[in-house]
Structure 1
Amino acid sequence: MKLFEEYKVKGMTLKNRIVMPPMCMYQAASDGFPSSFHLCHYASRALGGVGLIIVESTGVVPVGRITDHDLGIWNDEQIPGLKRIVDVCHANGAKIALQINHAGRKSTSSARQPFAPSAVRFDSDYRMPEELTKTQIGEIVAAFKAAAGRANTAGFDALEIHAAHGYLVHEFLSPITNRRTDEYGGSLENRVRFLKEILAAVRSVWPEEKPLWIRVSARDYQEGGIDGEMMVQIVNMAKSSIDLVHVSSGGLLPIEINDYPGYQVPLSEKIRRECGKPTIAVGLITNDEMVEEILQNGRADLVAMGRELLRNPYWTMNAATKHGIAGYVPESYKRAHTV
């Protein structure tokens, strides 16, 4: 099965094509430090056989967190706790990436008033964001760079820049939320500038052999916003700096989305085909038949399973047992897998 084939990107080789996507756990201390929960949470998925784990949204600055209980990576004291997560996942056979993020106007952090490309609030329950100055934009780019350096010190195998789900980078990319008239707004080229500056800064400290990619929302679900065609253009503008694209959708606006199993897979397929970059597909994918169809038909190179891995940390191990794939059941667990 292709599901259990190795996959190599840059210097990182995965033992299979299953990815645990970043999912906020809201279990960090108010200072952004990880807790024992994080060790158990990520280690169990590594033991369960997942090829790649992407650690949840981790704020590059305090106000860049989605909530006050998100992980942080804005100072060196946060490195050892993250390294413990890396080490336990490596010890159990998984590769591990970190998603770094600035929440923009969707931050509910008590650190201060949130920032955004333009002073447009998410909805009436959110605070009005402060429009970023060019000096502040430069400071955030520098924060992403510093976070990448810390992620490397912690031993992460790969790095994901969060450019999706209505957070700061996505807010710059979408014409719905970016109403600036300077070099960071207006044309698509200008709206992509912030992302490109972050990627360039991160690339300057992130090892060449380690993969770097972006997570994108390839559809805003509102006329005048990002759609698949626009996202292809965005990725093509940035693709010289990235190794892969993690394709999601939505999150920019408080609107209902008609989701169903595999609903985002066509967006992954489009970007993979038209941008010539490997992709991770995600979106209510729950069983091995779905995964195999996506991989065999070239719709993605890797498949992320979020809610299914929350329900069952040992999904990959069980799928391996089902299909007679050796090497996934630890000796201590074999009595439970004897047919």
Structure 2
Amino acid sequence: MSPSQAFLKAKCHPSVVGTPRTMDENTPDLFRPLAIRSITLRNRICVSPMCLYSTASSGPQQGVLTPLYITTIGHNVFKGAALAMIEATGVQPNGRISPHCPGLWNESQQQALKNLTDFIHSQGGLCGVQLSHAGRKASTLSPLAAAELGKSSARASIEDGGWPADVVGPSGGLSWDGKGNDDPSGGYYIPRELTRQEIGELISSYASAAKRAVKAEVDVIEIHAAHGYLIHQFLSPLSNRRVDEYGGSFENRIRLLVEVIRAVRAVIPAGMPLFVRVSVTDWMEDSDIGINLGSWDEESTFQLAKMLPDLGVDLMDVSSGGNYHQARFNVFDGGQKHVEIARRIKQSLAAQGNDLLIGTVGMITEPQQARDLVQRNLRGEPGVDVISLGRQFLREPDWVLKAAAEIGVDVVWPAQIERIRPAASARI
């Protein structure tokens, strides 16, 4: 070890940034470590996967993470976040949300992911990747490009780098916004129904992407089964009208997710945690269409949650919405309900002796709110195990450090910026 490396190791202590300098019975659970299989989160604060729509849409760099991801996601870890989850990453080219979303189906994408994990590890943090297929919400323009057209969503044509003829779903003929391809106001393509052979290929693609993630030295894999993307589309009778073994009953509609979980768990190390993000409800159970067709709801999620530990899943990441354009809440404003739902699911599972970890996301902005959400209460009822912040980290990349100060926890700061630490002696 060179003298400069020894100095950095002794002086910067990246592995403990965001952890209490001393810990006692009064230390909030929010700032206590959490062991999951072979890894340990240094606190309970994670970076939620957030789409940046910033990779090349074609050529040899298609779907390859750029240095921008280090400066954004990596910065949150530098300032104390325990785990950074990389945004929805396509397991197949047609599984990307937009032409500018990342993928993990080739070696160039794998190497770029490793560059990011190397940086995150150098800062003492952990890196996760969210494996995804957008299904009928694929081949859309990035929100930035759609906004220039005055739309919240817009279709990506072949000229835009999109794949109109290869947008897929559990069922054909059901665009996300209910509009036909010839309707200029529509923002999504009508999908074609996946064949059984394609479903098998899809499951293999999840396993292949998971293998690449392991080679990229990712610490956690999350399967994206939320927000109206393909696996969520299979879960919900609103979007799944199949009449084979992948549609109809609850057992059939969860079949794809179960098979993907098994395929991924089989190819990753035993010590690697596996997460699943779910939309706990479509927010359609009280609507006419939800009553007539059925929908994915909180009870469905609870039934699924009870099965996950036996499948090798360690944590269920609670979100909601995204599968129907007229839902009571969407992906962004549904967060106001996640806290109460997540705690309710955690407490119900714990009462049955189920040790599935629960995380949640959405409108978590205040330190006291985060502390109370994670904390076991006076009656012994557990809080959630981890929280994830998305937009709040965009607003305040130093949120971990700020939160600790506001709730009275003296945590380690990065040595490089400790001179601006409140009430600390300036050091030059």
Q: What is the TM-score of this pair, normalised by structure 2?
A: 0.77
Report the equivalent of 1:21.
48
Q: Which residue of 159, 170, 179 corresponds with 2:232?
A: 170
Report the equivalent of 1:306.
390
Aligned equivalents of 1:327, 1:269: Cα separation in 2: 26
Q: Which residue of 240, 246, 251 corresponds with 2:317?
A: 246
Letter in 2 for 1:121: S
CA offset at residue 257 of structure 1?
4.0
1:255 and 2:326 matched:
yes
Report the equivalent of 1:182.
244
CA offset at residue 327 of structure 1?
4.8
Structure 1 gap ranges (5+): none
Could you say what secondary structure the match of 1:309 adopts? helix
Could you say what secondary structure the match of 1:264 adopts? helix
CA offset at residue 321 of structure 1?
3.8
Report the equivalent of 1:209.
271
Aligned equivalents of 1:75, 1:51: Cα separation in 2: 28
Aligned equivalents of 1:139, 1:2: Cα separation in 2: 42
Structure 1 range deviating more: 319-328 or 176-185? 319-328
Could you say what secondary structure the match of 1:216 adopts? strand
Structure 2 gap ranges (5+): 1-27, 141-161, 180-185, 286-293, 424-428
CA offset at residue 237 of structure 1?
3.3
Q: Which structure would you say has the larger Rg?
A: 2
Number of aligned residues: 339
Aligned equivalents of 1:246, 1:325: Cα separation in 2: 26
Whether contact under 8 Å (1:118, 1:131) holds in the other structure is yes
Aligned equivalents of 1:331, 1:78: Cα separation in 2: 32
CA offset at residue 322 of structure 1?
4.1
1:1-150 alignment runs, 5 A limit? 1-30=28-57, 31-108=62-139, 110-111=162-163, 112-119=165-172, 120-123=174-177, 124=179, 125=186, 126-150=188-212
Could you say what secondary structure the match of 1:71 adopts? coil
Letter in 1 for 2:370: V
Post-superposition CA distance 1:277-329 (Å, at most 9, x none): 11111110101100111111423100111111111111102223445544531
1:261-276 alignment runs, 5 A limit? 262-275=336-349, 276=354
CA offset at residue 262 of structure 1?
4.1
1:291 and 2:370 matched:
yes
Aligned equivalents of 1:87, 1:206: Cα separation in 2: 19
Post-superposition CA distance 1:147-199 (Å, at most 9, x none): 00000000110100000000000010011111111000111001111111101
CA offset at residue 27 of structure 1?
0.8
Aligned equivalents of 2:232, 2:408: Cα separation in 1: 42
Post-superposition CA distance 1:86-106 (Å, at most 9, x none): 011111121111000000000
Aligned equivalents of 1:182, 1:56: Cα separation in 2: 32
Letter in 1 for 2:84: I
Whether contact under 8 Å (1:228, 1:270) holds in the other structure is no
Could you say what secondary structure the match of 1:263 adopts? helix
Letter in 1 for 2:175: R
Structure 1 range deviating more: 229-238 or 7-16? 229-238
Post-superposition CA distance 1:39-72 (Å, at most 9, x none): 1111110111101111100000110000011111
Aligned equivalents of 2:302, 2:117: Cα separation in 1: 33
CA offset at residue 266 of structure 1?
2.0
Could you say what secondary structure the match of 1:72 adopts? coil
Structure 1 range deviating more: 83-92 or 256-265? 256-265
Residue identity (%)? 39
Could you say what secondary structure the match of 1:204 adopts? helix
1:282 and 2:361 matched:
yes
Report the equivalent of 1:152.
214
Aligned equivalents of 1:55, 1:329: Cα separation in 2: 24
Whether contact under 8 Å (1:47, 1:314) holds in the other structure is no
Whether contact under 8 Å (1:50, 1:94) holds in the other structure is yes
Q: What is the TM-score of this pair, normalised by structure 1?
A: 0.96
Letter in 1 for 2:238: I
Letter in 2 for 1:41: T
CA offset at residue 254 of structure 1?
1.0
- Alpha-carbon distance change, 209 to 266 in structure 1, aligned in 2, over 3 angstroms: same
Report the equivalent of 1:225.
295
Whether contact under 8 Å (1:321, 1:337) holds in the other structure is no
Question: What root-mean-square deviation, in Å, do the aligned CA atoms of Structure 1 and Structure 2 show?
Answer: 1.5
Report the equivalent of 2:152.
none
CA offset at residue 7 of structure 1?
0.7
Q: Which residue of 305, 317, 323 corresponds with 1:235?
A: 305
Could you say what secondary structure the match of 2:129 adopts? strand
Whether contact under 8 Å (2:367, 2:404) holds in the other structure is no
Letter in 2 for 1:58: T
Whether contact under 8 Å (2:79, 2:414) holds in the other structure is no
